[in-house]
Amino acid sequence: MTRNEWIKAILAGDKTVPAAQQWMGFFNAALARRLTPPECHYEPMWLYDRPEVFDFSAIGPENLDKMVAFNRYLGQSMSMLGAGANQSFGHGLPGEFAARVIERSDNGLVAEYETGVKAKVQFHPHFYHFFDAPLRGPEDIDKLKLPDADDPRRYEGLRSDAAHLHERGEYVVGSLNGFFSSLHYFLMDYEVLLTTIVLEQDFIRECIRQVGEWNLKAAGHMMDAGLDCLVFCDDLGTKQSLLISPGMYRDLIKPWHRRVCELVHGRGRSVHLHSHGAIGPILNDLNECGFDFINPFDPEEGHNIEDILTRPGRMFVAVGGFPTSFWGWQWPEQKAHLERMGRLAREHGRYMFMDSGGVPDHVTKEAFDRINACSREVRGLKEEFFTE
């Protein structure tokens, strides 16, 4: 069985195959390199390993093969296509707005995105912050200038990269902008979004429309390139509650979620939603939209993964079940949690291991390798299970 066939079997609810795993990412490329052998180090490994221009170059066979080796060393189940995407799950080119690095220092960088917003990234301690957003309110709507989603240069090489990964038997995933999160990532400050979505809803509706239409065009081009799945980040909650009311979600966001699912399903492909927070009040809505995978179901955000797996009418693969604090636990606690997740996967199916925030800087290679070895064991995953 290839990895592509494996993921499709999990999607179909086959409980006889091992559960899959996809760690969310690493805090930076230096950490990813420290935890993996040199022969696994491809370029670019990280979202911000970017030049000083907006670059949509193909990854190419040599780096793709190193990326596959990286994934297999980690036990990852999906190959994320697009520069910077593979170790930052839910982010990356070409379906998300691109960044170029405009400042570098020993402890961080400043990047500028296609929409004009900038991001400051600090390595130690880990921190990032978006600033200089183009929109402050309805009076700035004419400043909203999105790149051309139909520009063929944006997708140049994507088809050949996807074909190469398919030849290796991989399940190929590409990233897309969120329909909600992209507003505060790329268009406006977080505070502006949360204020205007209540007081200036027509303005927010127009912003979502423009991003939504861009996303659908980009999704179509990425499907043309041969991807198996699209993933996007649309964080909809805090640890305590939704960021917007269920009614507001159904009015403003759900129609676009449904449209992208319908578009992708019309091509026979799948859609993976990343959404942090206490999203329980709209989980039936997300199921109705047709998402094939939903992550991360962080226990620290109010989610009991066993309740999710036994939820009546669940059609999606539940991805997650590991709290953000998992990487800081003592080994006996980590081992017990991995064993419990393996048991739940065998009992209920349609489940994939994923952490909730990425691997932090303090994790040692010894601890990381121990966790991955235990994960393979509890999931019953052996290399002889796969063919290419």
Tokens of 292: 């094939």
Residue-level pLDDT at 293 = 98
Residue-level pLDDT at 281 = 97
Residue-level pLDDT at 335 = 98
Tokens of 380: 């019953």
Position 112 in a domain: no
Tokens of 147: 């790149």
Residue-level pLDDT at 354 = 98
Position 323 in a domain: yes
Distance CA 33, CA 70 (A): 10
229 pairs with which residues across the strands? Answer: 173, 270
What are the Cα distances from residue 231, in Å, to 1, 26, 86, 96, 167? 24, 18, 12, 10, 21
295 pairs with which residues across the strands? Answer: 274
What parts of the chain have a pLDDT lower than 70?
none
Q: Which of 223, 91, 229, 222 is nearest to 172 (CA)?
A: 229
Domain span at residue 90 reads: 3-97+146-385
DSSP assignment string, 210-256: HHHHHHHHHHHHHHHTT-SEEEEE---B-SSSBSS-HHHIIIIIHHH
Burial tier of 388 (Cβ tally within 10 Å: 0-12, 13-18, 19+): exposed
Length of the chain: 388
Residue-level pLDDT at 384 = 79
Position 119 in a domain: no
Position 135 in a domain: no
Residue-level pLDDT at 387 = 82
- Work out how many domains the chain is built from and give that number: 1
Residue-level pLDDT at 83 = 80
Q: Give the CATH number of the domain where residue 372 resides.
A: 3.20.20.210
Residue identified by tokens 């797996």 is 309
Position 265 in a domain: yes
pTM exceeds 0.85 for this model: yes
Position 127 in a domain: no
241 Rama sector, left if φ>0, alpha if ψ -120 to 50, beta otherwise: beta
Q: Strand ranges (DSSP E) for the chain?
A: 20-21, 79-81, 99-105, 108-113, 118-122, 127-131, 172-176, 229-233, 270-274, 293-295, 317-321, 351-354
pLDDT in tens, 230-251: 999 999 999 999 999 999 999 9
Position 117 in a domain: no
pLDDT in tens, 168-199: 999 999 999 999 999 999 999 999 999 999 99
Burial tier of 189 (Cβ tally within 10 Å: 0-12, 13-18, 19+): middle
Position 50 in a domain: yes
